[in-house]
A and B are shown apart, each in its own frame.
Chain A
Amino acid sequence: MENLSLMLAPLLSSKLMIVLIFGTLFGLILGVLPGLGPTTGGALILPFTMTLDPLSAIVLLTAIYCAGTYGGAITAVLINTPGTPAAAATCLDGYPLAQKGEAGRALGMATVSSTIGGIFSVVVLVFFAPLLAQLAYEFGQPEYFALAIFGLTMLASIGEGSPIKNLIAGAFGILISTIGKDFMTSIDRFTFGINELSEGIGFIPVVVGLFAISEMLTQSTLLDQIFNRVALKAVKLPSISDYKKTWITIIRSSGIGSFIGVLPAEGGTVASLIGYSEAKRWSKNPEEFGKGSVEGIAGAEAANNAATGGAMVPTLALGIPGSATTAVILTGLIIHGVRPGPDLFREQPDFLYGIFGSMLIANVLFFIFGFFGAKIFARITLVPNKLLWPMIFAVSVCGTYSLSQSILDVWIMLFFGVIGFFMRRYGFSVVPVIIGLILGELVEGTLRQSLVIFEGDWLRFLTRPIAVTFFILSLIALIFPLLRKKKSNE
């Protein structure tokens, strides 16, 4: 009961409500614009959160996360281009239904299933995050090392693209985290005589570069792209027969999304694809999929929004990000001096339940804004890239510069923008780089502290049952895609 009142506290704070409304609107705009999204948007807004208190800052980021994930559906339905990667599966049925003159019905279904999926996942978050945090009390340095390795291998395994390329990208991210003074011995590593690099490379220049600048370069190659826009009169709530058809799908996909979200990977994208394919598998009318099935829209949208709460579980309970956007939220927590983990649950329950509550409210808010304002948000896609991206560049440059007022950060941002463009062009996901960068210090620190505990004997990792379990799971995570590929080849 006490926790419930803590969760509803944001409703009583006018400041938090303003932050929530702004975050939801901003998240919707980011989600609607192809190429942007909650990850890039969260990274762009991180410097601005420094003017807020920690709770407001994280509430802002989580509202952007929830609304941005839903916002991608608007573009997916109306112009057959997912606003966010997580909305890719929504295009498959959303756009065909819109082409039949039922854009309002398609968006209504997307809005309702996203909201249910999102709320379902917050319930999962409220129940499972404290349990996981409780479990984390059993963790020592070797267990945290094994957990971080498990997180990275899962990311490689069920993320987009080739698992080996994802591993390379993850290792690259960890390598970036080693730049600067070694945090244990103060020995310079990869500083090349540049004093500013002694402090290491900041997270913001890398993430803004890899997401925003690389996307700007990608957009520069797509200037001849033409969108076929479908007219939208108004968003319609699904009919009773639509609900009858889809309620099981929505619940199933909400469960799938929450579960996939908890695993450290690109939660929403994978969840929506699995949610969609499971909806098709269990449907009485699988032949309608791809031709405008409301079940297809519900399956994909409930799953991708359910992944938001799921991805927050390991982020808050263990400090291991469950997705690229939660990596940005984790950075927000760190720069505001909040250390995620079991101690956070014990020492700052009001802070945590404030986040849970604001995620719940954000899901309700994007339902309202999506339902009544989808038509307006759809118009945002009319802003041409030739005007939009120079503006995003200006904000990216100033935002990156603002954190430590260093021009070197701007060069680093541009450098990683170019690297990110070529990585994406040749099939290397940039998300593992970010997760690797975030986890790098944890991986190295826990490894070295474990070796101190074990007096240099690596084999003593095998005497720790939890660590061994994570190593076995990591091995399974690495072998699974190879077996899957072999099976599909056969």
Chain B
Amino acid sequence: MSDVQKSKGADKKSLPLFFNISFKVIFIIVLTSSVLLYFTFTFEEVPPILNRGIQPATFPKALLILIISLSLIVYYLSIKVPWNIEKKLPNSFYITLASFIIFSVVSVTLDFFLGISVLSVLVSFFWGERRIFYLFLVAIIFPIIVFIFFETILGLRFPGGIITNLYYN
């Protein structure tokens, strides 16, 4: 795992303090933690006799305050030793991410295994595979093997769909 806190080549030179990467990352962490902290105030409270030491909301509240405090320390340290600028993410990353979304949509609306097949063919193709046999292998043959394995050996029943129902019916 890369340690991004090395000083050499760090983003010292151009970006204003509030728009460097450490600010963005810490801002997202603090914002999310603050929203979650707000939600902890909506948790039900129990009568003192049942609260077993502390109220159910106290522990998550303490954790979120700890996360926010530590994040601010990380940001303070990043002013002294700025983080390295990470390389821009390539298109293949966004395509992989998009294929997760497509998988989610297809597996819910059409078929779970069709979703896996679509993702497999998309990822494999956009990662550089052009040979039809291998695309067929990852998109059709391998998911079928996985399906048979889980269905017969582990006795698992997958969610119904346009293809899976053919098997179950």
Contacts and interface: CB of A to CB of B under 8 A. Distances in A.
B154 A51 contact: yes
Contact of A164 (B77, B90, B97, B154): B77
Interface stretch (A243-251, A271-279, A306-314, A420-428): A420-428
A464 B130 CA distance: 66
Interface in B120-160: 120-121, 123-124, 127-129, 134, 137-139, 142-143, 146-147, 150, 153-154, 156-159
A420 to B, nearest CB: 11
B31 interface: no
Interface in A433-490: 444, 447-452, 456
Mostly, the A contact residues are helix
A185 B96 contact: no
A187 B83 CA distance: 41
A407 B123 CA distance: 21
A393 B116 contact: yes
A184 B93 contact: no
A393 B60 CA distance: 33
A129 to B, nearest CB: 30
Given A51-B154, A387-B134, A217 B60 contact: no
B67 A384 contact: no
Interface in A151-200: 160-162, 164-165, 167-168, 171-172, 174-175, 178, 182, 184-185, 187-190, 192
Nearest to A50: B154
Interface string B19-42: 001000100010000001001100
A398 interface: yes
B123 A386 contact: yes
A160 B70 CA distance: 17
B169 interface: no
Contact of A402 (B4, B21, B36, B150): B150
Given A187-B46, A390-B120, A426 B4 contact: yes
Contact of B2 (A192, A402, A427, A448): A427
B36 A190 contact: yes
A223 to B, nearest CB: 5
Q: How large is the interface on B (under 10, 10 to 19, 20 to 34, 35 or more residues)?
A: 35 or more
A384 B63 CA distance: 42
Contact of B63 (A178, A185, A389, A405): A178
A429 B127 contact: no
Contacts of B129: 384, 386-387
A290 interface: no
A23 to B, nearest CB: 17
A185 B50 contact: yes
Given A160-B1, A188-B43, A405-B157, A426 B86 contact: yes
A178 B158 CA distance: 29
B68 to A, nearest CB: 10
A411 interface: yes
Contacts of A449: 52-53
Interface string A106-149: 00000000000000000000000000000000000000000000
Interface residues of A, number: 64
A418 B28 CA distance: 14
Nearest to B24: A426
B150 A424 contact: no
A407 B157 CA distance: 12
Pick the most buried of B25, B56, B66, B77: most chain A CB atoms within 10 A of its CB. Answer: B56
A463 B129 CA distance: 65
A386 B122 CA distance: 10
A228 B63 CA distance: 46
A447 B56 CA distance: 12
Contacts of B124: 386-387, 390
A450 B53 contact: yes
A189 B43 contact: yes
B1 A427 contact: yes
B110 interface: no
Contacts of A417: 100
Contacts of B73: 164
B51 interface: yes
B93 A221 contact: yes
11 contacts: A174-B63, A175-B67, A185-B50, A192-B39, A217-B96, A221-B92, A387-B138, A391-B120, A393-B119, A397-B116, A456-B53
Interface of B: 1-5, 21, 25, 29, 36, 39-40, 43-44, 46, 50-54, 56-57, 59-60, 63-64, 66-67, 70-71, 73-74, 77, 83, 86-87, 89-90, 92-93, 95-97, 100, 103-104, 107-108, 112, 116, 119-121, 123-124, 127-129, 134, 137-139, 142-143, 146-147, 150, 153-154, 156-159
Given A164-B77, A165-B74, A178-B60, 12 more contacts: A51-B154, A161-B1, A164-B74, A167-B66, A171-B66, A175-B36, A187-B46, A387-B129, A387-B134, A394-B142, A407-B112, A426-B25
Interface of A: 47-48, 50-51, 85, 160-162, 164-165, 167-168, 171-172, 174-175, 178, 182, 184-185, 187-190, 192, 216-217, 220-221, 223, 384-387, 389-391, 393-395, 397-398, 401-402, 405, 407, 410-411, 414, 417-418, 424-427, 429, 444, 447-452, 456
